[in-house]
Structures are given as structure tokens and as C-alpha cells.
A and B are shown apart, each in its own frame.
Chain A
Amino acid sequence: MARRFRIYGKKRGDRRTGSKRLGSYGELFFYGIFLVLGAGSFYLLLINLIWPEWQANRHFVEHQCEVVNRIVTPVQYDGRTRYRPEILIRCEIDGQPYATWTYDISSNSNTGVGLFDRAEAEAIVAQFEIGKQYYCWYDPARPQTVILVRGYSWWMWLLLIVPASFALFGSVGVVRAALHSSASAERRASIASKAASIDLLNDGAARGIDFPNIPPQFHVTDSPGTHLAYRLPVDASTGWQLAGMWGVCLLWNGIVVWLVAMNVGNHFAGHGDWLLSAMLLPFGVAGIGIFVHCLRQSRFATAMGPTRLEISGHPLYPGRSYELYLSQAGRMELQQLTVTLVCDEQATYRQGTDTRTETRCVYEETIYARTKLSVGADRLFEDTCQFAIPESAMHSFRSAHNQIQWKLVVQAELSTPFDYERRFPIVVYPLQELASTSDSSPRVANARSSAP
């Protein structure tokens, strides 16, 4: 008889799968804790702080009272002595005399709000002179609740963000976990697909609804070229790499400089630690090395000048030829300049708690190559070439964890130790049928001719 509930995972290929049901319960429990904590804290904050303050400002009735006495009361809160300003007032509401110790609406709460340092509390009570008349506000439902000061504390509303975000995170997680445990993967995907297909702006073509899971191509076609139809956008990931390197450099050197400054200060003060100084030395040298590397990379990136690729058509289709225009600005001697058509498969997977991405090049063809080039400030290098997408090529594809990416890669070998590479993503569609038809929607006939 088959077990219905498996606690331990079962090995499937190179992955270990756990009990789905146990996973769902665990997920439900995890998000449930966030939901309960968030909602509970939200409720307590609302009831104890926000709601009384709101009522005091909106519903309390203005009146007049006489200050009879004033004191500063020490209160032990959170292991410290804090002070609460307390004013004894006397007033008559609807013919009924009232006498109460008060200040603001938080006076009677035990939340720590309305507690001050001694000097602050004394300054507050000093504002109220004994025997003088002051405005006060009382709760019409409970006239014994009277306050001398009212107003909104903006930080209380900010405080709500913390429990509200916990509650939101928890509730979204609980709904998601409940949906996961009660609905099949197909049903969930169907709901997601229907939601995604709601076309509010009637731009289905732009969003790639006609060709599901093919990346949209508007980021290419919205940039016209000067020589050919479209100018290809460069993949910005190298810029982000450089920014990341500078981030690491600043963080590393910041810490090192701070430690060095502290250590030098200690030496001047006469209690320096020579062992610490010696240990800091390799970190300092590494910091200088990182800084020099970043500086050289930045200089190189800025001195290279832009590489421009323009293409005669986009999107691209298998079996068709396209013209390519290449230009390179800057001031450099190039040993070799190549343009390569590349197709990569990319898969993202989880290994333990890590998310890994593996990329494999499945197609690579050099479509342009030149050697011994000189690019000068007054001499822009320009050339054109033709290339074709292979007839049986797979189209571009993108889903949550898997991708098939086509791109043109410009690689340059310089006479200096630096080489550079710039990538220009392109989108390959399935082969479009050329049959003249009144149907305006594109119809795909991929591989119909090459089908066995």
C-alpha cells in the first residue's frame, strides 16, 4: 500500500524532493506566524495609541479647567527611570465637578508613550501655573477623561508600517500557500495565464501575447538607426558589473580606512596595538589593489568609445539574412575585431538555499572578423556585413527559470593587455509564413517545410 504522507524526500535524478504536503503545511505555518504577529501588533498599536489619539483630536469637547497642582512622577519603564508630567486639574462638566491628574491622551497608557527625561518633564509641567485657567478637552462619553494637550504624533502612523508589512507579507504568503496546497499546478498556471492576458491597454502585440514566452522586441524597434532600420541596444550588464566593483571597493576601503584611523589615533594616544597594525597591512594593500583595478577598468570603459550595431530588420526569423552595420569610436589599436552570433540556453535552479544560473552556448558563429585596425579620434571605424539566422534555429524564449537568448557579441583584442566584449541582445521569432492572407495576425509555420 502506498504511503500517503512522506516526511522525508525521495531522490529523483540529481534532486531530492520533499513531501509536498509537509512543505505546504510548513509554508502555511511560517507565513501564519508573520500574519498573526503583524495583525496582533497592528491591532495593539491601533487600540492603544492611534485610536485614542484620533478620538481625542476628533471627538473630545473643548472646555476650561483650573490647574490645582503639578508634579513629575518617576516611572520604571524598560529598566530605566522615566518621568511623566502630571497636572491636577479641576473642572465642572454638566454641573458635575471633576478633579483628575492628566496631561495628554497617552498619560494613562502603559506603553511608554508620554514618558520623558526628567528635564523635559519638568519643562512641560512648568508651562502650567497653579491657579490659572487653561483650555482642556474631555471625552463626552466618559467626562472623567480630560486632557490638556492634544495633537497628532506622526511617528505613530509610521510605526504602523512595521506590523502592516508583516501582516501583508504573512497574508500574501498564507493565501499563496493555501492556493498551492488546494489547487493543481495547471489550475494555478491557468489562473495566472488569465490574469496576465488581461490587456488593458490593447497592446497585446507589444507585450508579446501573440507570441507567448518570446521576449518583447519593442526595446529594439523603438530606436531607429542612422544607416540601417534599427540600432541595437547594448546589454547594460557590464556597466552594472563596474558599479558593483566600485561598491565593493568603497566598502572595503571604507572599513580599512576607519580601522587605520582608529589605530593611528591609538598610537598617538600612546596605547597603539602593533599586532593590529601588522594585521591591517595586507588588508590595506588589498584595498589599494582593488582601487587601482577599479580605476583602470573605469578608465578603460570610458576611453573605449561607444560600439554601435545597426540591423536591417527586427525581429529576426530563422533562415533569413540581415544586414549589419558596425561602428567603433575611441582611440586605440585593435589586433582583432569580431562580431559573433550567439545563442545561449540559460537555466536557473535552486541548490539548497542558493539560486544558481547556468548558461550554455548552443550556437556560435563568427559573422564578421577584421585584424590590425586603427581607430582614432578623427577616424570612426565603420563597416557592414551580412549574416543569417540558421534555418532550424530555435526562437528566443523566456520563462521564469529558463531562457533561450540570441545575441550579437562584439569582441575586440587590443594591443594593451585589455580585451573587451559588448553584447547586443536580439529577438528571434519562429518563422513567419509569407502566404498572402487577409488575416492580419501573424501565423507561424515553423519547420513545416523541414518537418519529417
Chain B
Amino acid sequence: MSQVKIILEFDEHDGLYFPGDTIAGQYLVETSTPRAVNSVEVSVLWYTMGKGEEDLSVHYFNRHSRIEGRRFEVQAPRRFGTVLPNSPLSYDGFLVKICWCVRVRVFMRQGREVVSEQPFQLGATLRPV
């Protein structure tokens, strides 16, 4: 089975961002079998954790996929960047937690997926008062 490694880096830091800040960086897919990669997706998103069902909202999304007759550079470094929204801010509650991250998802042939994500904070993570 082919090994896939995803390298994901932020331009500035991977810690604290504020609404209106720009989060940018680059990602790289390393694999010994590039032809086995069908598509690559990068998203800046938040998701909930905790007792409830997971909710998820994507703020930035980009997809690169193999199209017949076109060159698809799987291993080329790709950039992403977006201005962060006003809300929701990162939160670490009892039943509800809101986590922000940049997620890269690589789709292989035969339905296999490889995912890598880099968390960051939008606003200093708030906790119940």
C-alpha cells in the first residue's frame, strides 16, 4: 500500500489568530505513488466536539483533482489563505467545544482517504465563566 505524508505549515504561526486576521500557509503531499492520488482538498473550518452531534462549517475550501488530459502535480506545494470570520470563536465548554483547524484531505484510488489537520485558535479560547 502506498504511503502518503501530508506536510502542512502556516506562514506565521500555528497558535492564536483573531477575527479579521489572515491565515495562510502551504501544504505538500508526499507519496511514492502520485498516480494513486485522485484529488486533494484543503479547508479552513470549525467543528464542534463534546456531547452533541458534530457540527462543521467550512470557511475556506479548495479542491484540486485529477482531470483527464490535464497535468496534475500531486507533489507540488500548494498555498492556501483566507481572512478569518468574526465568529464563532474557539471555545472549550462542558458540553460544547468549538475547534478551528486547517484540514487537508487526500483522496486515493479505491476510496481510501488520508487526512491531516493543524488546529489553531480563533480568539483566545474561551471557557465557561
User: Could you list which residues of chain A lie within 8 angstroms of chain B, going by C-beta atoms?
Assistant: 1-2, 4, 21, 184-187, 189-190, 193, 210-214, 343, 345-350, 358-360, 362-363, 390, 392-395, 397, 399-404, 429-430, 442-448, 450-452
Q: Which of A1, A4, A400 contacts B53 (CB 8 A)?
A: A400
Q: Tell whether, in the assembled complex, residue B52 and residue A349 are in contact, meaning their CB atoms are under 8 Å apart.
A: yes
**Residue B7 is within 8 A (CB to CB) of chain A in the complex:** no
Q: Which 10 A-B pairs have the closest CB atoms?
A: A347-B52, A362-B128, A190-B61, A399-B55, A444-B19, A447-B124, A401-B53, A347-B51, A186-B43, A451-B124
Nearest CB on A from B18, distance (A): 6
Q: Does B77 contact A (CB under 8 A)?
A: no
**A190 contacts B58, CB within 8 Å?**
yes
> B112 touches which one: A4, A214, A347 (CB < 8 A)?
A4
Q: Contacts of A210 on B, CB cut-off 8 Å?
A: 86
The interface residues of chain B lying within 8 Å CB-to-CB of A392 are 126-127, 129
**B105 and chain A: residue at smallest CB distance:** A184
User: Could you say which of A2, A360, A363, A401 contacts B55, with CB atoms under 8 Å apart?
Assistant: A401
Q: Which of B1-58 contact A (CB under 8 A)?
A: 1, 16, 18-20, 41, 43, 45, 48, 50-58
Contact call B93/A213, Cβ cutoff below 8 A: no
What's the least CB distance linking B88 to chain A, in Å?
5
CA of A347 to CA of B16 in the docked complex: distance in angstroms? Answer: 26
By the criterion CB–CB under 8 Å, are A190 and B43 in contact? yes
B67 close to chain A: CB less than 8 A? no
Enumerate chain A residues within 8 angstroms of B100, measured Cβ to Cβ. none
Neighbouring A residues of B43 by C-beta, 8 Å: 186, 190
Complex-state Cα separation, A185 to B56, whole angstroms: 8
Q: What is the size category of the interface that chain B forms with chain A?
A: 35 or more
Residue of A nearest to B16 (CB): A451
B98: CB under 8 A from chain A?
yes
A348 to chain B, nearest CB (A): 5
- Contact between B51 and A349, CB atoms less than 8 A apart: yes
Q: B58 to chain A: which residues have CB within 8 Å?
A: 186, 189-190, 193
* Contact among A212, A390, A447 with B85 in the assembled complex (CB-CB below 8 Å): A212
Closest to B126 in A: A394
Inter-subunit contact A430/B1 (CB<8 Å): no
| Beta-carbon contact of B95 and A211 below 8 Å | no
Inter-chain contacts of A1 with B (CB < 8 A): 1
Chain B residues with CB under 8 A of A184? 41, 105, 107, 113
User: Quick check: is B75 within 8 A (CB to CB) of the other chain?
Assistant: no
| Interchain CB contact under 8 A, B1 and A395 | no
Q: List 26 A-B contacts (CB under 8 A).
A: A187-B61, A189-B45, A189-B58, A190-B43, A190-B61, A343-B128, A343-B129, A346-B95, A347-B51, A347-B95, A358-B52, A362-B94, A362-B129, A363-B128, A392-B127, A393-B126, A394-B126, A397-B96, A400-B55, A401-B55, A402-B52, A402-B53, A444-B20, A444-B87, A446-B124, A448-B18
- Candidates B18, B61, B91, B111; contact of A444 at CB < 8 Å: B18
Which single member of B89, B94, B105, B127 contacts A395 (CB below 8 Å)? B89
Q: How far is the CA of A290 from the CA of B89 in the complex (A)?
A: 47
A214 contacts B110, C-beta separation under 8 Å: no
- Neighbouring B residues of A214 by C-beta, 8 Å: 87-88
Picked from A193, A390, A395, A448, the residue with its CB within 8 Å of the CB of B87 is A395
Known: A212-B86, A395-B87. A193 touches B20 (CB 8 A): no
**What is the CA–CA distance of A348 and B89 in the complex, to the nearest angstrom?**
20
Contact B57 A397 (CB under 8 A): no
A452 to B124, CA, bound (A): 8
Query: Are B57 and A212 in touch, CB under 8 angstroms?
Result: yes
**B residues within 8 A CB of A343?**
128-129
Most buried by A among B1, B19, B103: B19
Chain B residues within 8 Å of A403, by CB: 96
A266 to B96, CA, bound (A): 59
Assess the A430–B86 pair: CB atoms within 8 A.
yes
| Contact assessment for B95 and A446 in the assembled complex, using a CB-CB cutoff below 8 Å | no
Q: How far is it, in angstroms, between the C-alpha of A343 and the C-alpha of B126 when the chains are bound?
A: 14
